[in-house]
Amino acid sequence: MNKKTMKLISVVLVAIMSVFCITSICFATDIDPKSIDGKANVDVSKVQNIGNQIATIIRNVGIVAAVIIIMVLGIKYMMGSAEEKAEYKKVFIPYIVGAVLLFGAAGIAQAIITFSGGITG
């Protein structure tokens, strides 16, 4: 592997580790301190629905963009000369890494939304 690929992999790994390792511990309660009777006026399902819609939109747009890009690259690869085919092979590797990261991020976000819905529900 070349240095550029190794740097990319290390940056992605550090970012993933920082997301999962750097957390804050806090005390959470349903009681609104401003309310007189101590009952919560918070509707968590609205926030979950909005998060779910955003994750779905990101996933769907990513799928459409990935399919369009792979179609364009495939057509260019088929129509290109030998030198152009070698260039397109170099382009496919970052594309595949980006597509895996996109689908992985959308999948992780969807899993977090599902997991948090199971905790609160």
What pLDDT does 74 receive?
84
74 membership: H or E segment, kind and range: helix 44-79
User: In the Cβ-directed half-sphere of 27, how many Cα atoms lie within 13 Å?
Assistant: 2
**pLDDT score for 114:** 76
Q: Where are the domains of the chain?
A: 44-120
Q: In the prediction, which pLDDT does 84 show?
A: 85
- Give the per-residue pLDDT at 4: 82
Render pLDDT for 22-31 as a digit per residue (tens, 0 to 9): 655 555 566 5
* pLDDT value, residue 89: 81
Question: What are the residue ranges in the chain where pLDDT is below 70?
Answer: 1, 19-44, 117-121
